[in-house]
Structure 1
Amino acid sequence: MKRFPVVPTIVVALAVAVMIALGLWQLLERRPQKEAFLAQLAANPGRPAIAFPRFPDESLLFRRASAFCLEPVSMTRAGAGAAGYRIIALCRTGAEGPGLRVQIGTTRDPLGRVTWRGGQVRGWIAHAPDGQPLIATVMHPNVTREMMLVMERPAPGLFPNAPPSIEAVPNNHLAYAVQWFLFAAVAAAIYVIAVRRRGGTGTSPTLG
Structure 2
Amino acid sequence: MYRFALRPLWILSHLFAVACVVAFVALGLWQLDRHDERAERNATIEARAELPAVPVADALAEADGDDDALRFRTVSASGTYGEGDLLVDNRSKDGLPGAWILTPLRLDDGSTLVVNRGFQFNDGGRVEPEPAPDGPVSIEGTATPWDGDDCGVRTDDAGDPVGMACLRRSAAEEAFGGEVLPVVVQRQTSDPSAASALAPVPLPELDAGPHRSYAVQWFIFAALTAVVYVLILRRVAHRIGERIDEPTDQPVDQAVDQPAPG
Residue 164 of structure 1 aligns with which residue? 203
- Is the counterpart of residue 63 in structure 1 residue 73 in structure 2? yes
SS at match of 2:84: strand
User: Which amino acid in 1 is paired with 2:221?
Assistant: F
Residue 188 of structure 1 aligns with which residue? 226
- Is the counterpart of residue 104 in structure 1 residue 134 in structure 2? no
Paired with 1:203 and 1:101, the residues of 2 have a C-alpha distance of 75
Residue 136 of structure 1 aligns with which residue? none
Residue 135 of structure 1 aligns with which residue? none
Residue 19 of structure 1 aligns with which residue? 24
Q: How many residue pairs align between the two structures?
A: 187
1:103 to partner: Cα distance = 2.4
For 1:122, which of 117, 140, 164 is the aligned residue?
A: 140
Seen in structure 2, the aligned counterparts of structure 1 residues 79 and 163 have a Cα distance that, compared at 3 Å, is: closer
SS at match of 1:192: helix
Paired with 2:258 and 2:221, the residues of 1 have a C-alpha distance of 25
Seen in structure 2, the aligned counterparts of structure 1 residues 13 and 105 have a Cα distance that, compared at 3 Å, is: closer
1:33 to partner: Cα distance = 4.2
Paired with 2:92 and 2:70, the residues of 1 have a C-alpha distance of 23
Paired with 2:12 and 2:258, the residues of 1 have a C-alpha distance of 12
Give the alignment's Cα RMSD to 1 decimal: 4.3
Q: Is the 8 A contact 2:85 2:103 kept in 1?
A: yes
SS at match of 1:3: helix
TM-score, scaled to structure 2: 0.52
Paired with 1:179 and 1:72, the residues of 2 have a C-alpha distance of 52
Residue 251 of structure 2 aligns with which residue? none
Seen in structure 2, the aligned counterparts of structure 1 residues 81 and 15 have a Cα distance that, compared at 3 Å, is: same
Residue 43 of structure 2 aligns with which residue? 39
1:129 to partner: Cα distance = 9.2
For 1:75, which of 74, 78, 86 is the aligned residue?
A: 86
Residue 142 of structure 1 aligns with which residue? none
Paired with 2:98 and 2:34, the residues of 1 have a C-alpha distance of 33
Q: Is the 8 A contact 2:52 2:74 kept in 1?
A: yes
Percent identity, please.
Answer: 23
Moved more, 34-43 or 50-59: 50-59
1:176 to partner: Cα distance = 3.1
Unaligned runs of 5+ in 1: 133-144
Seen in structure 2, the aligned counterparts of structure 1 residues 165 and 7 have a Cα distance that, compared at 3 Å, is: closer
The structure having more radius of gyration, on CA atoms, is 2
Seen in structure 2, the aligned counterparts of structure 1 residues 202 and 38 have a Cα distance that, compared at 3 Å, is: farther
Unaligned runs of 5+ in 2: 152-165, 168-182, 241-255
1:177 to partner: Cα distance = 1.4
Residue 3 of structure 1 aligns with which residue? 4
Residue 88 of structure 1 aligns with which residue? 101
